[in-house]
Homo-oligomer: A and B are copies of this chain.
Amino acid sequence: MTINKAAAIGGGVIGAGWVARLVLNGIDVAIFDPDPEASRKVGEVMKGARRAYKQMLPGGLPKEGRITYAKTIAAAVADADFIQESVPERLDLKHKVLAEIDLHAPANAIVGSSTSGIKPTDMQVAMKRHPERLVVGHPFNPVYLLPLVEIVGGEQTFPEAIEVAKEIYASIGMKPVVIRKEIEAFVGDRLLEAAWREALWLVKDGITTVEELDDIMRYSFGLRWAQMGMFQVYRIAGGEAGMRHFMAQFGPALKWPWTKLMDVPEFNDELVDLIATQSDEQAGDLSIRELERIRDDNLVAIMDVLSKTNKGKGWGAGALYKDYTRQLAKLAVKKKKKPTSKAAEKAKPAKKAKPAKSKKKAAGKKKG
């Protein structure tokens, strides 16, 4: 299934990242965000995303979808077939927002939540009409570039909703991975949390600074993990005998640090100060915007170059990037073939929904 019209509820860093990805795929998006600054903030993210996509597509971008700012959730979701919720991580707020989305969205619209930790089961109780169409669709920042989306269903979620969500996210160039059992924080953030906890200890105890720790990551295992995850990496480390050998050899040795640093560093002002000050030093005179541009350039460059390895077939995020940029290039060609005079455009009837090419049976319909 592809998206005809999307709604984004919440236009912060994550919400705006979704908007950017959707719009750059030619999809119209209605945004609801009560922040009076929302349009400026979304504009900033759009600027960064456009810049990155121009590097991905030197031949030209597809015609952008339209962004509209709705005054209410009801107005934003009224004619959407895909709604992504990205409001702050408070269950009461999620309940309020999801209840409203559910009430006003078309019955067959899929509702994705960007939550990075709350279980969908705990959220969908607020959806009185069609809780079965809620999935967690947890992305990673910057959403317009990083392909991963973790899909998690709750107790009431229909398997069909998971399938449709996979298709939807894949249609905008993402890599959906379905989490098999619902747990808080899912998989990506569990791993990040574990590393983050350890990192805080190491800095707090003066073993390392934030800059040194960052260097330790990006000059070693970070380079590995851009293309292979830790299990594949360790398989190789095990040599010809592979994973079983690695586990046998390193398993027991890995045991001793398991008993250490399980404790939690106290999250106080002192720790915040220490880390914020070191982070300022690390950044030097690079502003956040400059860092963001450098990050985006690097991400595009890495994915682009990985699209050419593996005998030209591409590898991991690079193989996906190859397909994605091809798909966008095709869209861009379509745009060029269209009549371009303003008069011709005005003369056309209001934009119609695209013909539903693939099965358009969203989960909601199944129940309804």
Contacts and interface: CB of A to CB of B under 8 A. Distances in A.
A181 interface: yes
A170 to B, nearest CB: 12
How many copies altogether? Answer: 2
Contact of A236 (B238, B261, B288): B288
Contacts of A233: 295
Contacts of A181: 205-207
Most central of A185, A209, A223, A299 by chain B CB within 10 Å: A223
A141 B298 CA distance: 23
Interface stretch (A66-74, A77-85, A92-100, A211-219): A211-219
Given A235-B282, A244-B272, 13 more contacts: A140-B220, A141-B236, A150-B216, A177-B208, A178-B212, A179-B212, A191-B202, A195-B195, A214-B230, A224-B299, A247-B275, A259-B264, A301-B308
Contact of A231 (B147, B194, B199, B222): B199
Given A191-B199, A272-B251, A229 B213 contact: yes
12 contacts: A140-B220, A140-B221, A148-B220, A177-B212, A177-B215, A177-B216, A180-B207, A180-B208, A187-B202, A190-B198, A301-B308, A302-B302
Contacts of A261: 190, 194
A320 to B, nearest CB: 7
Given A13-B239, A242-B279, A247-B272, A183 B207 contact: yes
Given A188-B216, A235-B288, A302 B196 contact: no
Interface residues of A, number: 118
Q: Lowest 3 A-B CB distances belong to which pairs?
A: A214-B229, A222-B225, A226-B226
B280 A243 contact: yes
A213 B180 CA distance: 11
A349 interface: no
Nearest to A262: B262
Interface in A264-279: 264, 267, 271-272, 275-276, 278-279
A8 interface: no
A231 B317 contact: no
Nearest to A183: B207
A89 B150 CA distance: 38
Contact of A219 (B180, B212, B316): B316
A213 B230 CA distance: 8
A304 interface: yes
A211 B208 CA distance: 32
Contacts of A243: 275-276, 279-280
